[in-house]
């Protein structure tokens, strides 16, 4: 892996983990992009655009990952099959206009499901878990059912990777059962080489796109976060960019 990528990686020194600055600008086109990847077994980071990697943005729908965990841990929802009834408000995507369980709600990024979930959790418990997780700037003042939607809560790509590291090493303040449920429902693909590609998109609908997740390849785990900023940026574009970078790195 290091030999394959050495042609465009520059060592940035070593503190606790080795860090490489990657020249990945060609993948982002006209967008300003950040990319962080952590190689679990080999204990090194790859970063593109280090300044943006540490800049906080709204998590948008990537917050569905901690929101799912909090809903499960508080007992508001029992498991991935917990159904919430559609509120009969017609929205701009047909798949939103029906009942959903947790698994389908995260797959189709059903905002109303997660807003209702947050309301059922309540402000006191939500604040407790956001503080305990040390999630970004921990600011939920923008409203219980919208603080993560281009509102008060902000998090960086670097912090997204740190959060996912704790999730995938079972070191978050949640039961292993609940962490396993969430890891299962964000699986996107299992590839021919056996790699399991997981993640969640996020977007503010105008100029910010996220994709955060992991690739499990054999006994190794790669944890990543990508964000893109600029006109037309969205989560699917961030996802496509991430896939191309990861393919170039020969991870999948």
DSSP string across 187-245: EEEE-TTS-EEEEEEEE-SSSEEEEEEEEEETTEEEEEEEEEESTT--HHHHHHHHHHH
Predicted local confidence at residue 224, as pLDDT: 98
Nearest to 60 by CA among 208, 214, 165, 236: 208
Question: What letter does residue 69 receive in the DSSP assignment?
Answer: H
> Where would I find the H helices in 74-214?
102-107, 111-121, 123-133, 157-168, 176-185
- Which residues are the active-site residues? 61
Predicted local confidence at residue 16, as pLDDT: 56
Give the 3-state secondary structure of residue 112: helix
For the entire predicted model, the pTM comes to 0.93
Q: What is the Cα–Cα distance from 225 to 13, expressed in whole angstroms?
A: 21
Predicted local confidence at residue 70, as pLDDT: 98
Question: What letter does residue 153 receive in the DSSP assignment?
Answer: -
Predicted local confidence at residue 192, as pLDDT: 83
pLDDT along the chain (252 residues), means of 10: 40 58 93 97 95 98 98 98 97 96 98 98 98 98 98 98 98 98 97 92 98 96 98 98 93 80
With beta carbons less than 8 A apart as the criterion, state whether 33 and 27 touch: yes
Q: What is the Cα–Cα distance from 2 to 67, expressed in whole angstroms?
A: 36
């Amino acid at each position: 892996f290091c030999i394959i990528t050495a042609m465009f990686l520059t060592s940035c020194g070593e503190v606790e983990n080795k860090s490489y600055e990657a020249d990945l600008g060609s993948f982002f086109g006209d967008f300003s992009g950040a990319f962080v990847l952590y190689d679990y077994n080999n204990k090194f980071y790859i970063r593109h655009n280090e300044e943006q990697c540490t800049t906080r943005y709204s998590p948008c729908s990537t917050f569905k990952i901690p929101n799912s965990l909090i809903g499960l841990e508080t007992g508001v929802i029992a498991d991935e099959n917990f159904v919430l009834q559609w509120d009969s408000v017609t929205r701009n995507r047909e798949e939103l206009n029906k009942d959903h369980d947790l698994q389908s709600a995260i797959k189709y990024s059903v905002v109303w499901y997660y807003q209702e979930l947050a309301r059922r959790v309540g402000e006191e418990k939500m604040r407790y878990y956001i503080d305990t997780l040390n999630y970004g700037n921990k600011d939920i003042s923008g409203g219980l059912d919208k603080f993560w939607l281009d509102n008060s809560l902000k998090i960086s790509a670097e912090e997204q990777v740190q959060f996912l590291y704790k999730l995938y090493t079972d070191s978050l303040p949640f039961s292993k059962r609940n962490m396993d449920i969430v890891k299962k429902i964000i699986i996107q693909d299992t590839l021919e080489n056996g790699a399991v590609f997981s993640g969640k998109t996020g977007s503010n609908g105008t100029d910010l796109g996220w994709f955060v997740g992991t690739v499990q390849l054999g006994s190794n785990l790669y944890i990543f976060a990508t964000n893109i900023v600029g006109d037309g940026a969205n989560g699917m574009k961030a996802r496509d960019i991430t896939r191309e970078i990861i393919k170039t790195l020969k991870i999948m």
